[in-house]
Structure formats: structure tokens, C-alpha cells
Structure 1
Amino acid sequence: MPCSIVTGDLFAGHDAPGHPECQARLDAALAGVPAGARRIAPERATPEDLARVHTGRHIEGIRSFCRECPPGRARYLDPDTYVTSCSFDAALYAAGAAWQAVERALSGEHSFALVRPPGHHATPDRAMGFCLFNNAAVATAKALREVDRVAIVDWDLHHGNGTQAIFYGSDQVLFCSVHQAGIFPGTGWPEERGAGPGVGYTVNAPLEGGSTGADYALVFREVFVPALRRFDPDVVVVSAGQDALFDDPLGSIHLRPEGFGALTGMLVDATPASLALVLEGGYGRSHAGAIGAIVAALDGARFSPAGGGEKASTRHLVEAYASRRDAVPL
């Protein structure tokens, strides 16, 4: 299947130079996109699209806070998360681009929305962790108007607490997250499995610092891929944060760029559903290499993860899932 890239210059208005989540890091990531890749301009989501997963008070609060920003300056919602006068508009384009990627995936084409600000920490009523609105969740909720099942795989260094919270009670969304244990936002433990009809449809794999591509591949092979095959999604959304790279300043996971290509290939091969990737984190110098490996895997290349053997803690985690037949949807 061909791969399309949804991106544009519209995200530069949301920028605080020197902050880890700035326009320079998107520019660096885009350097990994092959020159001949099909690029599609992003389109705006509407406030009604956001309202599928966010409260009206949250949406209006962000809009108002942005309007009050002096031009060219950033204001902070919390110690990590800022807005500028242009951030609300940039966030609408980020959520809209995520939906465009999902829409193309539903038509049978892999697609990657390279956008900012990121989204997976945004809960229904709160911006946090650099995120204003939950791009992947907005796109997923919109997709559920047309299909019955959406799988979200989140391989960002940090747990996607916002996405988990939004779909925690749903059996229409399978949420699988692999992340570094014990860091921001402090959630994402195996015991967090969903609620009501959604029990078993949240699958968390917290890994120790120092984990490598071998650990990630083990989790995908033994936990995520079997869950995806049982769930049989109509589309797979990937919260693609590459801050688990070995040189990323925000964590201590040691994936190499080709490791992300390996994970992408495993997802492509796991299900006939197409992939819609949405950029989350990623701040290291090798980010462009990871983007290049992901796009190559979407176009048919296959990679092997580097890093030697798996950690004992990762094997124990996988064994614990295997021993709990109700831990993943059957």
C-alpha cells in the first residue's frame, strides 16, 4: 500500500523556541520523510469534532486563553504546557490532520499525520503534557461514526493517559500502550484494564528504563499483535511518539531508529486494516531516522530490532498477560 504524509506549515504558530515541544522538532522529524512521499495539506477540525471527546468548557477555555496571549509570546497552562495566540488554530489543524490520516487509512492507504501540538495526554477536560486536544482520540471518535472497531497503539515514551481515559469504558476501542514505567504522567499499569463494557480493552505494558527494541518487539509479538488479531479492527491508529529513542533527552529507553520500523512492520503484518499514524513526542537527534524507518516499513520494508535480549522484567510482564486469559479481549 502507498503511504501519504499529512503535514504543513500551519503548526509553526504554536511555538516557544527552547521548549522541547517546538516547531524545530517537527522540522527535524520532517527531514526523515522521503523526498518523493505524497504530502497532503492539513484541514481544520471543527469545535464539534473536538466535542466528541472533550468538554465544551475545556474547548472554550483553551480558545479564550489563546485569545488573551500577546502576539509572539507564550503563556503556560501548567509548568509543561503552553499556548500562543495561534495555538487554538494550530490544534484544530492537528486534530483535523489526524482525521485525514484515519480517513485515508479507512480507504486502504497507510497515512502519517506529522503534526503538533501532540495530543495523547489531553483528557476530556484538561490540557497537559504539551497536549491541548487529543488528536488521535478526536479522529477515532469520528471514525466510529462509520465503523465498529478502532485499535489505538501508543508507543510514545509516556503513557497516553488522555486517550485511555476517553475510551476506558468502550468495547469499540482497543487501546494498547507500551511506555517507560514510573515517569510522567504516572499512569499506565497492567491493572488499568478498562471499566464496564471496556474491561479488557485497555492493555498497558510499562517497561523498565534501559529497555531496547528487543523488549518492545516481545511485547508486540506476544501481547499486542494477538490482541489486535482477536479484536479485528477496521482501522489501526498509532500514537507515534518516538521519544523512546536512545538519544531522546526526556527518557531512558534505548530504541534505535530501525526499531520503530520493526514495530511498524509488525503492526502492518498483524491485520489487514491500514495504519493511521499521528505524531506525538520525539525530541532526539535520531528522530528523522526513525521517521524514515517508519515510512519505509509502511511502504513494505522490514526491519529487525536491535538491542540484544529482553529484560527479565519484560518477560515476566508478557508471561503475566499470557496467564490471564481475561487480560485482553477474546
Structure 2
Amino acid sequence: MPCTVVTGDVFSGHDDPGHPESQARLDAALTGVPAGTDCIAPVRAAPGDLALVHTERHIETLRQLCRALPPGRALYLDPDTYITAGSFDAALYAAGGAWQAVERALEGEHCFALVRPPGHHATPDRAMGFCLFNNIAIAVAKALREVERVAIVDWDVHHGNGTQAAFYTTDRVLYCSVHQAGIFPGTGWPEERGAGRGAGYTINLPVVAGSTGADYAIVFRRVFAPALARFEPDALVVSAGQDALFDDPLASLLLRPEDFGALTAMLLEVYDGALALVLEGGYSVSHPAAIGSIIAALDGARFNPGPGEPKETTRQLVEAYASAGHAVP
């Protein structure tokens, strides 16, 4: 089935040149979109959409801080995360674009929201890790008004602590994350499995530095695929951060661009529907090639994980997870 891309120039209002998460990285990523791909402009999320995930205080604080900034000035909320006068509007369009991707997928069309700022670190009451609002969590919360169950697969090299927090106590969202162990934000350990009705619906597989596409592949095949099959989601959404690439400056994994095509293909094997993808991280020279591989896989191209075997630590992690009986209830 075809793939539509949601993107536009509205995100340039949130920009601090020289920061890893700048407009330049989105411009670069867009060069990986194949010619002829259907692109549509993002729409703004409504304030009520943001409130499905975030506190009113968090929303209003960001709104007021951005309004008070003079053009051309960046204010840092923490050592990593900045805002500008145009950041609030850009973040509304990022969240709205994420919903467009989910909405189109529910209608039967693959859709990739190439939006920024990213979102999966933003918690209900805090901006962090380059993220202001949690785009994918907002879109999923909105989707739950229409469908019963949604699965999120997060392959960003950093754990999506904000997305996990948003759905930690519900059995209507399955959150699966594979990420590099021990780096920012310091969460995402296997024992973080959900709570209350959500116990068992959060799956974290942290892999060690130097892991490759073979490590991601065994996690997908042995853990994520069975969990997705058991959960039977009405929608499958991908937190698509390609910062696990071998040349990404912010992490130490060694995936190749074609590995992301292989991961996409694996999801299509287990999920009989359209995928919605939302851009998270990805800061390397090879990022555009990874974007191209993902879209090619959505269009039916075949990919295999890169050569080599998974690390013994990854094998042990997968076996430990399975032997402990950690499965979706």
C-alpha cells in the first residue's frame, strides 16, 4: 500500500542552529524521501488534544514562555532542551502531524510524520530530551477514542520514558522499546513492565553499546513479534528514531540504514494493517538513507538484517525475558 509523508516548513520556527535537534536535521532527513512520495502539510493539534497527555500547567507554561521570547533568541529549559518564540506553534503542528499519521493508518494507508520537535521523552508535566510535547502519546491517546487497543514500537536509541509514563497503567496500549542501555534518560530496564491494569504491557529490551541490526532483529523476532500477535492491536505506531545508526554522534549502536527497512518489514509481517510512524531522533549523515529504507519497505521492498550474529548479552536478555514468563497477559 502507498506511504504518505506528513511534513512542512512550519517547524523552522523551532530552531537553534548548531543544536543537534535543529531544522537542519529535518531538512537533511527529507532528502531521503523518495521522489514522487505523496507529501501533505501538517495540521495543528488542538489544546484539548495536548491535554489528553499533558497537564494544563505544562501546556500553559510552555505557551507563555514562548510568547515572552524575542525573535531569534533560544531559552534552555534544561541543558538539552530549548524553546524559541516559534516553538509552541511548531510543537502543535508536530503533535497534529503525528495524529494525521495515525488517522491515515487507521484508514488503511501507511503514513510517516516527519515532524519536529520530537516527543517521546516529554512526560505529562515536563519537557526534556529535546522534546516539548509527546507527539506519539497524544496521537495514540486520541486514537483510543476510536479503537480499543494500540501498540507502540519504539526503536529510538534512547528509551521513550515519556511515552512509557503516559500509558504505564493501562492495558489498552502495548509499549515495546529497544534501546541502548545506560544512556539518557536512564530508564527502560526490563523490570519496568507496567503497573496495575498495565502490568505486562510495557516491554523494555536494553542492548549494550556496539549492538547491531542483528541484535535489534532478535529482539523483534523473539519478543516484540509474539507480543504484538498476542495483543492484536487495532493500530500499530512506530516511534521512529534512527539514532541507533552506526554514525550517530549521540549514541554507540551500529545499525546500518537498511536495518531500518528490515525492522519495518518485520512489523509488516506480524501486523496486517497500515503503519503510522512518527519521527523521533536521528542526527547522522546516514539518517536520510535510513528514511529511504523505511519508506521503501513500506512500499514492498525486501530487506534483511545486516550480517553478523547478535551479541551474547542480547541473546541472554531475550532468553531471560522469555523464561521469566514476561508475556502480554
* TM over 0.5, shorter chain: yes
Encode CA deviations 1:147-174: one digit per residue, 9 max, x unaligned: 0000000000100000000000010000
Partners of 2:52 and 2:327 lie apart in 1 by 26
Shift of 1:328: 2.2
Partners of 1:89 and 1:119 lie apart in 2 by 14
The reply on whether 1:329 has 2:318 as its aligned counterpart is no
Q: Counterpart of 2:170 in structure 1: which amino acid? A: S
Partners of 2:65 and 2:223 lie apart in 1 by 42
Partners of 1:291 and 1:223 lie apart in 2 by 24
* Residues 287-298 of structure 1 mapped to structure 2, 5 A cutoff: 287-298=287-298
TM-score (norm 2): 0.99
Encode CA deviations 1:77-122: one digit per residue, 9 max, x unaligned: 1010000000000000000000000000000111000000000000
Deviates more, 1:237-246 or 1:68-77: 68-77
Q: Determine the structure 2 residue equivalent to 1:132.
A: 132
Q: Determine the structure 1 residue equivalent to 2:142.
A: 142
Deviates more, 1:179-188 or 1:316-325: 316-325
Encode CA deviations 1:121-163: one digit per residue, 9 max, x unaligned: 0000000000000000000000000000000000001000000
Partners of 2:306 and 2:145 lie apart in 1 by 40
Q: Determine the structure 1 residue equivalent to 2:35.
A: 35
Q: Counterpart of 1:143 in structure 2: which amino acid? A: A
Partners of 1:213 and 1:111 lie apart in 2 by 23
Partners of 2:260 and 2:239 lie apart in 1 by 12
Shift of 1:200: 0.2
Q: Counterpart of 2:91 in structure 1: which amino acid? A: A
Q: Counterpart of 2:327 in structure 1: which amino acid? A: V
Partners of 2:178 and 2:271 lie apart in 1 by 19
Q: Determine the structure 1 residue equivalent to 2:193.
A: 193
Partners of 1:215 and 1:242 lie apart in 2 by 15
Q: Determine the structure 1 residue equivalent to 2:276.
A: 276
Encode CA deviations 1:174-219: one digit per residue, 9 max, x unaligned: 0000000000000000000000000000000100000000000000
Q: Counterpart of 1:151 in structure 2: which amino acid? A: A
* Residues 177-326 of structure 1 mapped to structure 2, 5 A cutoff: 177-325=177-325
Encode CA deviations 1:225-271: one digit per residue, 9 max, x unaligned: 11000000011110000000000000000000000000000001111
Unaligned runs of 5+ in 2: none
Partners of 2:302 and 2:67 lie apart in 1 by 46
* Residues 145-164 of structure 1 mapped to structure 2, 5 A cutoff: 145-164=145-164
Encode CA deviations 1:42-99: one digit per residue, 9 max, x unaligned: 0000111000000000000110110111111111110100000000000000000000
Shift of 1:273: 2.7
Partners of 1:270 and 1:2 lie apart in 2 by 18
Shift of 1:304: 1.1
- How many residues are paired up? 329
Task: Extract structure 1 runs of 4+ deviating beyond 4 A.
Answer: none
Contact 1:233 1:273 in 2 (8 A): no
TM-score (norm 1): 0.99
Partners of 1:310 and 1:44 lie apart in 2 by 42
Q: Counterpart of 1:34 in structure 2: which amino acid? A: P
Contact 1:210 1:252 in 2 (8 A): yes
Contact 1:192 1:204 in 2 (8 A): yes
Q: Determine the structure 2 residue equivalent to 1:165.
A: 165
